[in-house]
Amino acid sequence: MLDAKLIREHSDLVKQKLSERGRAIDLDPFLTLDKKRREMLQEIEKLRFERNQASDNIARIKKEKKEVPPDVFSSLKISSQRIKVLEDELKAVEPQIADCLLTIPNIPHSSVPVGHSSDDNPEIRHWGSPPAFSFQPKPHWEIGEQLQILDFNRGAKITGARFTLYRGAGALLERSLINFMLDLHTRQHGYTEVLPPFMVNRQTMTGTGQLPKFEDDLFKIDGLDYFLIPTAEVPVTNIYQNEILEEESLPLYYAAYTPCFRKEAGSYGQDTRGLIRQHQFNKVELVKFSTPETSYAELESLLLNAEEVLKRLGIHYRVVCLCTGDLGFSSAKTYDIEVWLPSQKVYREISSCSNFEDFQARRASIRYRKKENKKIEFVHTLNGSGLAVGRTLVAVLENYQQEDGSIAVPEVLRPYMGGMETIR
RNA sequence: GGAAGGAUGGCCGAGAGGUUGAAGGCGGCGGUCUCGAAAACCGUUAUACCGUGUUGAACGGUAUCGAGGGUUCGAAUCCCUCUCCUUCCGCCA
């Protein structure tokens, strides 16, 4: 959510910045309603002031055991009724304003390249190089089925399309990746592990920006206003919803493993084979709360923390910076880490690391008290996948496949796999 | 699922229709005292919004005692609905 004052006072600048996202956003409904609201507020507050003074008078007269003239009550009753009418009108306008505000996306940071689509995302850096194969590398779904560690048919039978049954070393590999990532981030990178609820309420979902605009992408619990989380970002960022933190406690680092549930509406026909696009997948998420002064430095270190997972696994990847046209709704700046998949010779997104600045903090009301002058400000929130576990498993299978169809287990995972060196 | 109780400021805890943003205590901050500290004493101690003003000084106003509605000239206080928490019974991992 943007600052209403900013939109009100610098509407042209805001309009221009938002247009870089590629779609014109009409701020006029907000500006009109906001003006109306302030006019109503002023009238209501003036009437309430008068009523409060008159009420105090009555109290004083009664204290002196004197009689209150009856017409005082009757005229106050009329003004009270007038206040109530105005309050009802105001209450009708306020949700409309909130609606406008909640559907306006974040302003891209000045360092974000202007562009239209993912084709315009510049590569920031890459690490390693694609592995050389002396044979034709297979896609992960073939590898998984041949080794009987991934069972797509039975996943579909149990639930439906885009659900997969992991079996034996496949299930163990997934669990090992989760543990490896959590251990790395908690022991080496200073994150505190949390295990949050996997369902959240509407307010929490609104706090991070998934609602009200993207309800179609979410699984909702029937009969309750609860939703399955699409990412741990949602429950973890909302840990401090409606709280005021002390500046000394910042920055805060959290790492969380959770499954993620997404409807993937509008992606029919895309990535139908394999694990790339599932309705349920595992992810280790990194979340940071920082002061505005340090949030961009925190974004760079968060990105490095996520990259470290692939470095230790020894898998080639590149980092791109999302251009203005490709930027997510809530984000001011996002880096994607894209991992190399040799079967298709493409890079696929495996992590998305973003600085939301105060956009989510304003929605969820997450603030901090400055040490210097005790003033209260919104924190900056950041998060990034560290990493998407299913896609990491895909990358391991494809990059570590051997000519005989077996998989060499990456060195760092062996302690987690009971010493297993090869999946065959 | 049944029964009972509860929700007040950073925390504990009063308040039971009328200058109550809310006693008292704890904690925090500033000060006096001290070589320093402790103790004692004095002072201070919320947030949001609107307006005037400034560029982020100050002042005025309004709202906020779990949430929403109602009664009333006036509600933390009375009534209704909801949410959450606690305890007991049952059930369950």
Per-residue pLDDT of A83-125, as tens digits, reads 999 999 998 999 899 889 999 999 999 999 999 999 999 999 9
3-state SS assignment for residue A261: strand
Give me the CA A373–C1' B34 separation in Å, rounded: 29
Residue partners of A374: CB distance under 8 A and separation at least 6: none
**What's chain A's average pLDDT?**
93
Residues with CB under 7 A from strand B: A 4-5, 38, 41-42, 44-46, 48-49, 51-56, 58-60, 62-63, 73, 76-77, 80, 84, 91, 244, 367, 369, 373-376
How confident is the model over A27-33, as a mean pLDDT? 93
Phi, psi (deg, nearest 5) at residue A184? -60, -50
Give me the CA A185–C1' B83 separation in Å, rounded: 37
* pLDDT at residue number A269: 78
Measuring from the CA of residue A81 to each C1' atom, give the nucleotide at the shortest distance.
B73
Residue A32: CB atoms within 10 A of its CB come to 13
Give me the CA A287–C1' B30 separation in Å, rounded: 37
Percent of chain A with pLDDT strictly greater than 70 = 100
Q: Tell me how many degrees the CA angle A282-A186-A351 measures, rounded to the nearest 5.
A: 40
Measuring from the CA of residue A77 to each C1' atom, give the nucleotide at the shortest distance.
B73
Asked whether the predicted pLDDT for residue A305 surpasses 90, the reply is yes
pLDDT single digits (tens) A142-192: 999 999 999 999 999 999 999 999 999 999 999 999 999 999 999 999 999
Dihedral angle sign, alpha carbons of residues A277, A278, A284, A288: positive
Which is more confidently placed, A337 or A372? A337
Measuring from the CA of residue A9 to each C1' atom, give the nucleotide at the shortest distance.
B55
Inter-CA distances, A352 with A10, A230, A267, A307, A385, Å: 30, 14, 19, 11, 6
- Distance CA(A388)–CA(A306), nearest Å, equals 10
3-state SS assignment for residue A369: strand
Instruction: Give A221's pLDDT tier (boundaries 50, 70, 90).
Output: confident
Asked whether the predicted pLDDT for residue A373 surpasses 80, the reply is no
Instruction: Give A395's pLDDT tier (boundaries 50, 70, 90).
Output: very high
How confident is the model over A54-62, as a mean pLDDT? 87
Are A378 and A106 a contacting pair, CB within 8 Å?
no
Cite the active site residues of A.
262, 277, 349, 352, 391
Are A104 and A27 a contacting pair, CB within 8 Å?
yes
Give the bases of strand B that a protein CB approaches within 7 Å: 18-19, 46-51, 56, 61-63, 69-70, 72-74
Give me the CA A371–C1' B45 separation in Å, rounded: 15
Give me the CA A77–C1' B71 separation in Å, rounded: 13
Measuring from the CA of residue A91 to each C1' atom, give the nucleotide at the shortest distance.
B68
* pLDDT at residue number A397: 98
Asked whether the predicted pLDDT for residue A338 surpasses 90, the reply is yes
- Distance CA(A247)–CA(A58), nearest Å, equals 47
Tokens for A63?
């204290």
Measuring from the CA of residue A367 to each C1' atom, give the nucleotide at the shortest distance.
B47
Asked whether the predicted pLDDT for residue A311 surpasses 80, the reply is yes
For the ranges A225-234, A319-328, A368-377, which has the lowest average pLDDT?
A: A368-377
How confident is the model over A293-322, as a mean pLDDT? 97
Asked whether the predicted pLDDT for residue A65 surpasses 80, the reply is no
Asked whether the predicted pLDDT for residue A47 surpasses 90, the reply is yes
Give me the CA A73–C1' B80 separation in Å, rounded: 26
Which is more confidently placed, A369 or A34? A34
* pLDDT at residue number A69: 81
Asked whether the predicted pLDDT for residue A384 surpasses 90, the reply is yes
pLDDT single digits (tens) A251-300: 999 999 999 999 988 788 788 899 999 999 999 999 999 999 999 999 99
- Distance CA(A347)–CA(A198), nearest Å, equals 29
Give me the CA A116–C1' B1 separation in Å, rounded: 57
Instruction: Give A23's pLDDT tier (boundaries 50, 70, 90).
Output: confident
Asked whether the predicted pLDDT for residue A63 surpasses 80, the reply is no
How confident is the model over A129-148, as a mean pLDDT? 97
Asked whether the predicted pLDDT for residue A75 surpasses 90, the reply is no
Q: Tell me how many degrees the CA angle A129-A134-A135 measures, rounded to the nearest 5.
A: 110
Tokens for A100?
């406008």
- Distance CA(A129)–CA(A121), nearest Å, equals 20
pTM for this structure?
0.93
Listed in sequence order, the DSSP H helices in A291-339 are 295-313
Give me the CA A251–C1' B38 separation in Å, rounded: 34
**ipTM of the modeled complex:** 0.85
Among A312, A407, A305, A409, which Cα is nearest to A353's? A305
Dihedral angle sign, alpha carbons of residues A159, A212, A355, A266: positive
Residue type, A266: G
Among A378, A379, A380, A308, which Cα is nearest to A350's? A308
Measuring from the CA of residue A51 to each C1' atom, give the nucleotide at the shortest distance.
B73
Are A51 and A84 a contacting pair, CB within 8 Å?
no
